[in-house]
Structure 1
Amino acid sequence: MAKNKVKYNLKNAHYAMLKVDEEGVVSFDKPVALPGAVSISLDANGEPENFYADGTAYYVINNNMGYDGDLELAMIPEDFRVSALNETLDDNKVLIEDANSELNRFALLFEFDGDVKHIRHVLYNCSASRPGIEGKTNEESREVQTETLTIKATPLASGVVKAKTGNETDSTVYADWYKAVYMPTITGVNTDAE
């Protein structure tokens, strides 16, 4: 089977609102397109820590706290502002930002082109900070002004942080990636607890 050697070209960004019921069972709404993805840059959050005993690094503690970084979009869609950033539309359909609103959690899905096959990703437990306001006047030429969301992707209570397609991912799973948020099916991994 041919394998990707390189990746390039971020595209197909989607989000799906995360829900946790009273028993702690995690579910997601159907993914919604997040058009205009320009770039994504997420750094791993959390470094392994050594526990020292007997004069050596006796045990290494995994400290995977997810990812932090930025998602740059041509323009943040109104539906994302309402669903994830918890802005409200008033009676005149004007977006209102309220200092007392809580941010809502969501899964972030996206993909990169590969030289053989697209590489699809999902980060399960994301929140986005309010974007800044930035722009400038036109000069001799017009320049598109993008908007940036700062994303924090943390583990679910089960420990699951993210998933991505591999060289031999099941063709149905691959084809259905944006129809519903993929949940792992590994014996011994409980993804329902939040």
Structure 2
Amino acid sequence: MAGTENKVEFGLSNVHYAPYSVTNDEIVFETPIPIAGAVSITSDPIGEATKFYADNMVYYVVNSNQGYEATLSIALIPQQFAIDALGEELDSTDGVINELANVQGKPFALLFQFEGDQKATRHILYNCTANRPSISGNTKEEGTEVTPNELTLTASPIKIGDKLMVKTKTTSTTNETIYNNWFEKVYKKSTTVDSE
């Protein structure tokens, strides 16, 4: 049954990340892990329109979709995210976390939602990598001002099934089971018919 479409969206929440691996040419996502304290997310498309001119005009335009450059602002970067996505290492003996120059971060899917006047819209960016965040802080003055951490992300296309995916999101007609399980398991279009 079709639902009513949102007129407006507002309020970022339910940010999760899901590391993934590739097994037998198939993307295998881990269970999404919540990131508390989401403040904002912005994303700018990567790619450009290429114009072909003929007959003294723009005869044909092809658009290149190379994903997004995004900035995620959160209250504090979780330690597990630093390990899973930024490649930092926890020294379990000394209890310190180390950033190593010769270790690369690992890719992950980013899941989140924007509230709406009818229903929240849930999103997935499938193939994200995170850059090391800046280190910043201010002295405490008369009041306490919390400075959120910013993560810059690149969301690139990735082959899932027979499609080159960048992102997906729910709509007013999304199946309720898919919608309700959005943050339990990374959504991938099923290519097989389940038999009971």
Helix, strand or coil for the counterpart of 2:40? strand
Deviation at 1:87, TM superposition (A): 0.2
Residue 153 of structure 2 corresponds to: 151
Moved more, 103-112 or 52-61: 52-61
TM-score normalised to structure 2 length: 0.90
User: Is 2:169 the counterpart of 1:164?
Assistant: yes
Deviation at 1:145, TM superposition (A): 1.7
User: Is 2:101 the counterpart of 1:96?
Assistant: no
Deviation at 1:51, TM superposition (A): 2.7
Helix, strand or coil for the counterpart of 1:5? coil
Q: How does 1:22-41 map to 2 (within 5 A)?
A: 23-41=24-42
Q: How does 1:27-66 map to 2 (within 5 A)?
A: 27-66=28-67
Deviation at 1:55, TM superposition (A): 4.3
Aligned residues: 186
Gaps of 5+ in 2: none
Superposed CA offset, 1:96-154 (max 9, x none): 00010011000000001000000000000000000010000111100012110001000
Superposed CA offset, 1:143-185 (max 9, x none): 0121100010000034210000001100000000001000135
Helix, strand or coil for the counterpart of 1:159? strand
Superposed CA offset, 1:23-58 (max 9, x none): 321110000001110000111111221233454434
Residue 110 of structure 2 corresponds to: 108
Q: What percentage of aligned pairs have identical amino acids?
A: 45
Helix, strand or coil for the counterpart of 1:30? coil
Query: RMSD between aligned alpha carbons?
Result: 1.6
Q: Which has the higher strand share?
A: 2
Distance 1:145 1:92 in 2: 28
Residue 76 of structure 1 corresponds to: 77
Moved more, 45-54 or 93-102: 45-54
